[in-house]
Amino acid sequence: MFFKSKAKKAAAVEAKPYHCMAIEQIQSDLDVNIETGLSPSEAERRLTVYGSNEMRGGGRPSAFKILIRQLANLMTLILIAAVAIAFAISDWVEAGVVIGVIVINTSVGFAQEFKAEKTMDSLRKMTSPTSRVLRSGHQVVVPTADLVPGDVIYLESGDVVGADCRLFEVFNLESDEALLTGEALPIAKTTEVFGDPELPLGDRINLSFASTTITKGRGKAVIYATGMTSEVGKIAKKLMETNKTKKTPLQKALDKMSWVLLVIAVICVLVVFGANKFKVTNEVLLYAIGLAIATIPEGLIAVVTLTMSLGVHTMAKKRALVRKLVALESLGSVTNICSDKTGTLTQSKMVLVRAWLPNEGFFRISGLGFEPVGEVTKKQALELPTDTKINFAQTGDGSSEKSKVDNEGTVVVTEANMTEQFRRITQGAALCNMSEIRKDEDTGDWYGIGDPTEIALQVFASKLSMGKPMLTNSDNQWKQICEYPFDSAIKRMSMAVENKITGEKLVFLKGATERVVPCCTARQDGEQVTQVDPDSLQAFLDPQIQEMARDGLRVLSIAFRHMTEDEANSDMSKADREDVEQNMTFLGLVGIYDPPRPESLPSVMECYRAGIQVTMLTGDHPQTAAAIARQVGILQEEEEEEKGAHQAMQLGPLVMTAREFDRMSDEEIDALPELPHVIARCSPDTKVKMIEAMHRRNGIVAMTGDGVNDSPSLKFADVGIAMGITGSDVAKQASEIILTDDNFATIVRAIREGRRVFSNIQRFCCVLVSGNVAELVCLVIGLAFRDSLDETVFPLSPVAILVNNLLTGTPPAMALGVEKAWPTIMDEPPRDPTSGLFTWEVLSDITFYGFTIGLLSIADFWLVMNGFGDGNMGENCNREYSESCNLVFRARGTVFATLTLAILLHGYNCRRLRGPMWNWTMIKRFFENIFLFSGFACGTVLCLLCIYVPGLNTSVLKLKHISWEWGIVIITLLVFLIISEIYKFGKRKLCKPLSVATEEQGRLQRIWTENTLASSTGGLSK
């Protein structure tokens, strides 16, 4: 199933419920005889009709088109115009700086977009290059791309299925469909016909799907869907249809600001011309162009890009790789996280966590993963029935095994004190088992080889030092004689074993309880064996099975018997399996499940603290999904005490199956008080439908996932987050963020970083744009000053305007871009996405601070000229220095110093847009942001150099050194800081909070508070 950029239009196969059709009906429908298959000529004809078994993609976008898209940006176009203007006034430094900004912005954007669209190539890599099919009665190998509907395909262990097909012959066939359905375990296949046309994809076990892998057994099937009509093809089509090209709110805000600034720049030019009665001399033109450049914060895009890039670097160190910079913007607004279960909230490692033995009760097994480290514990011995024997033998050092009873009154089971019945069930778990666990010598990590369920059993036995390697060594000398492998038709496996030391020969049996119980005629009750019929045994076990199932455990049963004398002396491999697996003695139950990650619960609670709802969308069964959801905090058990322990797991409106959710109309979904927190048996379309429902409720959705089945929703969500270790290539390419540690907790850190980045963008936008406003106010009002020739006297020369722009623009803005997050950043609810970058408060801050600095600066010009001077404006002071211009040049030096230092100090103001910045507590933190302090110090030094270096001051910048005027400058700066603190105080008293939690967000934050209090007094609620 290969990809090609331009595929011809193929006829679509009408979607039919092939899982509900008998094989005879399918043969008729597809016009094929499964005994002979298609003829080569018929296969060729169908290939022409249906098209190649390949995905159709749009091809990789050309580099030229991507480059054009990057340059066709309004702010970039304005910067290009600024370059032209800078060249026009021979300001090579300014031109070089702006060109550098354009190159950096375009290069970063080009690289990000060019590598973003590889999803279709990734899908191609997943598919099998060749397949074995039946053509004219002969088995032949053909390219997977040549498969057609009606082909009879052979499947065996290790094969990657080439197309969607209906099974008609299976032998112990199992396939790994985790990447498509989310199932953690391989799926046992059957040929049975099902009656429900709307059966979830994961339950259609008589079908095999393209790109899934056969893990066990063999089978035959007839292909009914190829290419874009297969399940993987539908996903690929969904990916192509998903629109991810729309601009983000940040991009829209920057574009809008660009248009506004462009209009303001034009108006300023006209104002300059008008103030000079449209007598446009060379000096007037230069001033107008300089004022227009001062209007444009040319460093803004560069600082935004750099801030986001630094955020990307920070997140990479925290194990979150950002593929698209815009994801950082959306993270701060995330209101919902839709998470897959398997491998995301859970470890994707089956673990045996509970065992139950008749007459002994429940045992709990600690330890997660494949490492054989953990304890088997049971409630205190006083609660055990009197006929239960725990052998508290004396240990070698004379200490009693009673020391294994801990402070909470639980008994720690060891090889020394376990009962004979527990020893038997442990032996069965280890010996009736074909898996292995090994330790990687390089990394020290443990890994399993074999079936996930058998690995869990082997790890359990190894925790008690009774794993298969221990039992089969020279000290114990157990030997596996004959295996009767697991058969998906009877759902059980048995193993004949022998102990070379004692001569004991046993048969162990394990499997699904409903298939093990009919083989049993007795049960082990401690040291006694009680005869029992299968029906009575099943009734006896049902309450225990239900209790374990309520906790989301997969329940297996283990039984054994001694071989008869005839069996012991015969070749067991020739014995009839039905005879071998009879007259068993039931030993007990074991509960296995895919455990939650230890960090999942605190991470979900941290999401609730931030007002973010977590929703589980999984392909697993409802009971299992609900159990895991409760363990990680997605579902709360507020009424558990009232319902009772057995009713706590009942499914309610917050837990739905995909079928229930898909049947609801959009209107019915929107009418729900709150959306389901768990959806089980989930399909790709269900996930997209849930995201759409959240969008209709004004939600910003982050979707996590690792499989092919997650890729459409990853693409459709506002922020797609893929797993880096277990994730498929498709999921990674469809996402904006990849978690390199597959850790749900990393998402919380990413959201925190996203909030920090966006708040920092608002901070430096306030500095940059308010600095431009200050320059405009000062320079436009300065047009009112005229000399004896009735010519305008500029408060700053054009070159001084540009130098001031360089000193006060990018450096403080870049420093604020790396400002650390304040400790309370996760206590705030998600940012309203409709508020955008320039909220009313940011706009008011820009206007207030800009006008304040501008008015104070031009006031200083007036004070030097008229307040303390004689008001002599000189002649031709805009062109060159003369004695008559001495006062004007000193006034310009004062304005330059005031304007530069005030904007640099304003950078500190913007560290806290509402909180006080110039009290003693914050003054002590003056050096906390070393980059901001460095920018302030360097800016101050350069400002002094501009004022005092001979030639540079009078000839280039057209200003003069100052002396007593520093008093005016310092007083002006103090006045500005006092006005700033008064303004912030007024905002704190009169304005509503920056972000107000909705009712739902408030509920989530209360859950976090309650769990935090519960944790401090004895543990988190489950």
Distances (CA, A) of 856 to 462, 764, 886: 78, 22, 22
Mean pLDDT of the chain: 81
More confident: 299 or 481: 481
What is the per-residue pLDDT for 1000?
66
- In one-letter notation, the amino acid at residue 663 is R
Q: In what order do the strands lie in the sheet with 655-657?
A: 320-322, 737-739, 719-723, 701-705, 336-339, 613-617, 678-680, 655-657
Under the banding of pLDDT at 50, 70 and 90, the label for residue 998 is low
At residue 387, does pLDDT exceed 70? no
- pLDDT, tens digit, 9 for 90 and up, residues 669-683: 999 988 999 998 787
Share of the chain above pLDDT 70, in %: 82
Angle, CA of 839, 98 and 756, to the nearest 5°: 35
Under the banding of pLDDT at 50, 70 and 90, the label for residue 10 is very low
Alpha carbons 363 and 594: distance in angstroms, whole number: 18
What is the per-residue pLDDT for 384?
41
Alpha carbons 535 and 517: distance in angstroms, whole number: 8
763 with 816: CB under 8 angstroms? yes
Alpha carbons 97 and 105: distance in angstroms, whole number: 12
Greatest Cα pair distance in the chain: 129
Catalytic member of 151, 164, 203, 340: 340
Share of the chain above pLDDT 90, in %: 29
At residue 507, does pLDDT exceed 90? yes
Under the banding of pLDDT at 50, 70 and 90, the label for residue 213 is confident
DSSP-assigned states of every residue in 124-143? HHHS-SEEEEEETTEEEEEE
Q: Which position has the token pair 């906390």?
A: 928
At residue 832, does pLDDT exceed 60? yes
At residue 117, does pLDDT exceed 60? no
691 with 720: CB under 8 angstroms? no
Classify burial at 990, counting beta carbons within 10 Å of its beta carbon; exposed 0-12, middle 13-18, buried 19 or more.
exposed
Active site residue 397: no
What is the per-residue pLDDT for 310?
79
- pLDDT, tens digit, 9 for 90 and up, residues 812-827: 888 888 888 877 788 7
What is the per-residue pLDDT for 13?
43
Under the banding of pLDDT at 50, 70 and 90, the label for residue 182 is low
Alpha carbons 94 and 81: distance in angstroms, whole number: 12
Classify burial at 733, counting beta carbons within 10 Å of its beta carbon; exposed 0-12, middle 13-18, buried 19 or more.
buried
Under the banding of pLDDT at 50, 70 and 90, the label for residue 107 is confident
217 with 156: CB under 8 angstroms? yes
Of 91, 79, 85, 83, nearest to 802 by C-alpha is 91
Q: Tokens standing for 2? A: 């290969």
Under the banding of pLDDT at 50, 70 and 90, the label for residue 344 is confident
Under the banding of pLDDT at 50, 70 and 90, the label for residue 854 is very high
Alpha carbons 100 and 106: distance in angstroms, whole number: 10
Q: Is 552 left (phi over 0), alpha (psi -120 to 50) or beta?
A: left
At residue 299, does pLDDT exceed 80? no
377 with 364: CB under 8 angstroms? yes
764 with 816: CB under 8 angstroms? yes
Q: What is the mean pLDDT of residues 244-251?
A: 62
More confident: 1021 or 697: 697
At residue 1011, does pLDDT exceed 80? no
State how far Cα 115 lies from the chain centre. 19
Q: Which position has the token pair 């443990």?
A: 446
Under the banding of pLDDT at 50, 70 and 90, the label for residue 388 is very low
Alpha carbons 58 and 61: distance in angstroms, whole number: 8
Cβ neighbours of residue 203 closer than 8 Å, sequence gap 6 or more? 194, 681
268 with 292: CB under 8 angstroms? yes
DSSP-assigned states of every residue in 421-484? HHHHHHHHHHHS---EEEE-TTT--EEEES-HHHHHHHHHHHHTT-SHHHHTSTTT-EEEEEEE
More confident: 57 or 880: 880
Distances (CA, A) of 436 to 369, 405, 443: 14, 31, 18
Alpha carbons 951 and 756: distance in angstroms, whole number: 45
Q: Tokens standing for 467? A: 């794993």
At residue 272, does pLDDT exceed 90? no
More confident: 433 or 83: 433
Burial state string for 129-154 with b = 16 or more CB within 10 A and e = fewer than 16: eebbbbbeeeeeebbbbbbbbbbbbb
- pLDDT, tens digit, 9 for 90 and up, residues 932-951: 899 899 999 999 999 999 98
What is the per-residue pLDDT for 216?
81
Q: What is the mean pLDDT of residues 484-513?
A: 88
What is the per-residue pLDDT for 637?
64
pTM of structure: 0.67
Instruction: State the DSSP code for 967.
Output: H
Q: Tokens standing for 313? A: 């670097």
Alpha carbons 543 and 548: distance in angstroms, whole number: 9
Alpha carbons 657 and 676: distance in angstroms, whole number: 10
Classify burial at 941, counting beta carbons within 10 Å of its beta carbon; exposed 0-12, middle 13-18, buried 19 or more.
exposed
Q: Which position has the token pair 């005229």?
A: 786
Of the candidate ranges 34-38, 188-192, 572-576, the one whose mean pLDDT is the lowest: 572-576
What is the per-residue pLDDT for 386?
40
- pLDDT, tens digit, 9 for 90 and up, residues 622-675: 887 888 888 888 987 643 333 333 333 445 578 888 888 989 999 999 999 889
At residue 403, does pLDDT exceed 50? no
More confident: 379 or 987: 987
Alpha carbons 789 and 783: distance in angstroms, whole number: 14
Under the banding of pLDDT at 50, 70 and 90, the label for residue 4 is very low
Alpha carbons 524 and 949: distance in angstroms, whole number: 99
At residue 401, does pLDDT exceed 70? no
Under the banding of pLDDT at 50, 70 and 90, the label for residue 322 is confident
Label each residue of 373-436 as H, E or C: CCCEEEECHHHCCCCCCCCCCECCCCCEHHHHECCCCEEEECCCCCCHHHHHHHHHHHHCCCCE
At residue 617, does pLDDT exceed 90? no
